[in-house]
Structure formats: structure tokens, C-alpha cells
Chains A and B, each alone.
Chain A
Amino acid sequence: MKPAALIQRDLLLAYRRRSELATPLIFFVMVTGLFPLALSPEPALLRTLAPGVVWVAALLAGLIGQESLFKSDYEDGSLEQLLLSPAPLEFVVLLRVFTHWLVTGLPLVILSPLMGLLLNYPAAAMWTLIMSLLLGTPILSFLGAVGAALTVGLRRSGMLLPVLILPLTVPVLIFGASTAARAASSEPTAAPLYFLGAMLVLAVTFAPYAIAGGLRVSLES
């Protein structure tokens, strides 16, 4: 199967299920909206909290979207066909995670300046917030895909996936949120951004093997 055909198929499937894709976005906006209600609407406080809140909300919303990554393909049997195809499963999986990020992760990144605005995050630092999410959310997608591959055969995987994956996302959260926080106080942000980039390279290199391994285990049973 050609890579372009795989991407096209996934994008088409995503387009047909538009409303399903909107759920993580709505969740993202709502979780962000809960923080001013629970803490305080004071602008100065929100400003210091904004990087962390946006990052935590993006992390949780991203994980919610991950559960559907292989589910429908597993249920209708097309995952088995992908496994049998001559193309290496690692590569197929890499394309799948990338396409899934395009339709779930990228909208979160695009929406994030709006959330920053709601939380009084300085407009001058907005590009750095976007950059940090642009580098960070694909890592989260790859980690989440490992969990999705391991739990795809289980009937109730809803709560299990975050339990497995959240501890692994800690470094991404630390560097991502610290990038955004440093940008807000106009400190240099190159170092944490480079770390995010390095972790993205690591994830792209190694995660496909873990995801493919997880899928093989899940389908063998």
C-alpha cells in the first residue's frame, strides 16, 4: 500500500467522523475554562497560571483523542489487514499517528492562542506557546499511541490508557510548560524548545516499534 493512500484513507475517515474529532477540542476549551472558575478570575494570577493550564488541558484532551486511534480499525478487522500487508507495520503506524495528530493535535495547537487570550497570556509570547505545543503534542500522540496499541483489545480501556501513559508524559509537560512560562516573562526559551525537539526525535525514532509491538500483541490474542 502506498503511503499517500494510507494517509488519504485516514483523513477521509476522519472527515466522515467530524463530530467525534470535535469532542477533544470542546473538552480542551471547557477544561481551560474551569480553571478561572475554580481558582480566581484575577488577571495577574491567570497570567502566571496560563502556560501550565493550557499545557495540562492540551495533554488531557490529546489523551482522550488517542483512545479512538486503532479502535474502529480493530473492530472492523482492517487492522489485521494492515498487519498482513507487506509494508512494515512500524511505518504504517508512523503514518497513522502522524495523520491522527493532523486531525486531533494540530487543531489543539491552532486553538491554543485563543485559550491563552482567555487566560490573559501575553500576546507577544503567543508564538512561543504555539511552538512549544507544535513540538510537544506530536510526542504526546506517539506516547498515547503506545497506550492505545496496548489496550486496543480491551473492552474497557477508557480509564486505563491515561493511567498507563500519564507518568510517561511528565518530561513533555515539564519542558512544554516551562517554555511557555519562560516566554511569558521574556526569558530565553531556546533550551526547553531544543529539549522538546530532541524528545520528538526520540519518539519518532523509537515509539513506532513499541506501537507496532503492542498491536501485534493485541491482535494475537
Chain B
Amino acid sequence: MFIWFHKLVSPPYFYKFAGRLSPWLAWLSLLVILAGLYAGLWLAPPDYQQGDGFRIMYVHVPSAWMSLFVYTVMAMAAAIGLIWRMKLAHAVSAAAAPLGASFTFLALVTGSLWGKPMWGTYWVWDARLTSELILLFLYLGYMVLNRAFDDRRTGDRASAILALVGIVNIPIIHYSVKWWNTLHQGPTVFFGPRADIPPSMYIPLFIMVAGFMLYFAAFILKRLQVEILQRERNTAWVRELVEKS
């Protein structure tokens, strides 16, 4: 088991492993997302209050969850990279950041598109919107710092520290803006069935979350391949790989 793990985290082996796994995950995520969209946009009944407008939640809620999930992945990989000096862990953080930032951006955009008909405005300084916006800034800060150094390794370790400081701060930021101002509705979907939401409404949501997860897995592997090639560009195996193709 450990031997397998050691083999897996060696860059050349992981490059091939990611290359083989990524397309499968990508096609699977496309299928799951299409299924989730069909279930969410056609099969789910309209909301008694919001009509068809609520259907944007099938994109909005998964991307908001993913924005937090990806940050956690990023910070955990950063911690692993700092503690065990694992090269691949830093590459995971660096590859995750742009994906996380895109999910955050998507959550903000879909949220404000939904907010216009429902709240009558694109943007309010509500707690959840504000903390999501700050999360976007945290992602951007991480990405800027990661690329600011001439030496990638320094940038990796400096931005890893920033990611860890960020993850300690996220709960504090979240609760401070929550007490400061709240308009956003509370979380509706919680794990386990609820009487007032029919399964045809919440099951598509979980399908969409699964699809987004698969999408993330497929594309972080793809981005990792690129990161590995960039980081290992002076090694023999990369040269071999390039010359072969």
C-alpha cells in the first residue's frame, strides 16, 4: 500500500496516472451534469413561491459548496506540502486555486442573476455574498503570491502559508459578516430527507454536486499534468516525453 503510494506521488508516474484517469472522469462528469440538469430543469416541480426562478440553484448551490470545498483541499495540500515537503502537494494547491476561484465566481454570478428577480437587486451587502466575495479575494491573493517569485518552490511555500492563514480566518470572516448583516436565506438543503421538500427537487441537486465534484477531479488532474510538466521541465523524463511526441 505504502509502496504504491510512494510510486503514485512520484511526478512521472503521477503524470501518466492523471493522464489516463482524467478523460474518464471528464466524460463521466459531463454525463452526470447533463443528467442533473435534465432532472433539475425538467423533472423537478416549480417552487410554490419562486416559480421556475429557483432552478438556478442547481448551478448556484453546487458551485458555492465547491468554492469552500476547493479551498479546503487547497489548504490541506498546502499543509501537507509544508510539513512533509511533498512536491506534488504544492502542485495540487497551485492547480486547485484557479478552479476554486472559478467556482467562487460562478456562485457569485449565478447568485446575483437570481437576486435581481427575487430580491430586486443584483447585489446586496449580505453576509453570505460578502464572505463569498472575500473568499474570491483570498483565492486571487493566493494565485498572485504563488506566481510572484522567480523560484516556483519559494512561491509554493509562501503561498502555502497564506492559504493556511486564510483557512484559519475563513470561519472568523464568515461569522463576523454573518452577525454584521444577513438577508440571504438560511441553508435549505441539509443532509437527510425532509418532509417539505420533495425528492424530485433535492435529488437533482445532489446529482449536480456529484457532477461538479467529478468535473473538479477531472480538471485538477489535467491541471496537475501541466503543473508537473512546468515544474519538472529540466528533468530527463520530461525531455524524453517531449521528444517522443
Contact = CB atoms under 8 A, between A and B. Distances in A.
A210 B165 contact: yes
Interface in A127-150: 146, 150
Contacts of A163: 137, 140-141, 144
B169 A213 contact: no
Given A213-B82, A217-B161, A221-B151, 16 more contacts: A146-B161, A150-B158, A160-B148, A163-B137, A164-B141, A164-B144, A167-B138, A167-B173, A168-B165, A170-B177, A171-B172, A175-B176, A195-B176, A217-B154, A218-B158, A220-B154
B48 interface: no
Contacts of A167: 134, 137-138, 141, 166, 173
Nearest to A159: B144
What bracket does the count of chain A residues touching chain B fall in? 20 to 34
Interface residues of A, dominant DSSP: helix
Interface in A192-221: 195, 199, 202, 206, 210, 213-214, 217-218, 220-221
Nearest to B156: A217
A168 B163 CA distance: 11
Interface residues of B, dominant DSSP: helix
B35 interface: no
Interface of A: 146, 150-151, 153-154, 160, 163-164, 166-168, 170-171, 174-175, 178, 195, 199, 202, 206, 210, 213-214, 217-218, 220-221
B158 A214 contact: yes
B180 A174 contact: yes
B157 A178 contact: no
Given A164-B162, A217-B158, A218-B154, A150 B173 contact: no
A217 B157 contact: yes
B149 interface: yes
Contacts of B158: 150-151, 214, 217-218
A26 B33 CA distance: 56
Interface in B105-126: none
Nearest to B176: A171
B68 interface: no
Nearest to B141: A164
